[in-house]
Amino acid sequence: MTGKKVLYVSSEVIPYLPNNDISTLTYSLPKVVNKNGGQTRIFIPKYGLINERRHQLHEVIRLSGMNLIIDDLDMPLIIKVASIPKERMQVYFIDNDEYFKNRLNLVAMYVNDGETAEQVAYNYYGSTKYHWIVLLSNNIVNVVDEWPKGSRQLIDYVTDKYGANNGTDVHHYVEIDDDSIIVDWNATRLSNDEIKAVTNTEYEEDLNETKRQIYLLDKIFLKDIVVQYKKLVK
């Protein structure tokens, strides 16, 4: 398998979409190939529910702008990329508003420092009791891990996770020209400013920042979803 290059084209992959048979398989197979010396890339659609800020997607200029003929229609494509944390697996997203967007009923919001789901619910829906809608709209199950931390919380979290005074230790290295690509340490490339170090604190700060972009169900649908929810829990 060493040196082999494999492209996986799938409808979904974790952690960008919910855990199911397809998303798990699309994650597991490339991981095995990589561990055996191969090189992999994964292509999936950029669905509207994939949070670009949380997962640190960015456009690949050299691949974007291409057109694809679909039913005699010339459809422009935008290609975005991200890396699966800790696995060094690159995922490319095919972004097309007509085919893959599904956020007509969602409103983009930015979580301020220290703001809770209850505060977001109060500010937008007028009541803290609708915080569950805030979480549901963003597929958040574990608030401690998935909701953005406040500045003080983040400092304490880094200390607890990496140990006191270890925040400035190197977490990983990335390409200077594309910091979504995680690479191995290389003294020559580092001295030539081709790669750079990302500290433990920088890594956690970047990850936390991506969680601040959330989406809320438009308030005009609030009454409907509450009614439906009550029917489900009866």
Q: What is the structure's pLDDT at 102?
A: 56
Q: What is the structure's pLDDT at 228?
A: 81
* 170/193 same-domain check: yes
* 194/218 same-domain check: no
* 110/218 same-domain check: yes
* 90/24 same-domain check: yes
* 125/216 same-domain check: yes
Q: What is the structure's pLDDT at 168?
A: 95
* 48/114 same-domain check: no
Q: What is the structure's pLDDT at 39?
A: 87
* 156/201 same-domain check: yes
Q: What is the structure's pLDDT at 214?
A: 84
CB 118 within 8 A of CB 147: no
Query: 12: how many CB neighbours lie within 10 A of its CB?
Result: 20
CB 208 within 8 A of CB 112: no
Name the residue with tokens 């919910």: 18
* 205/222 same-domain check: no
Total domains in the fold of the chain = 3
**Which tokens sit at 219?**
């308030």
Give the residue numbers spanning the domain of 135. Answer: 106-148+211-233
- The predicted model scores a pTM of 0.59
Reported in sequence order, the residue ranges of 101-147 that DSSP labels E, i.e. its strands, are 106-110
Q: What is the structure's pLDDT at 84?
A: 84
* 61/155 same-domain check: no
CB 227 within 8 A of CB 196: no
Q: Along the chain (234 residues), what's the average pLDDT of each consecutive run of 10 residues?
A: 85 81 87 87 85 80 73 78 82 78 70 95 95 87 90 95 95 83 88 94 89 86 83 70
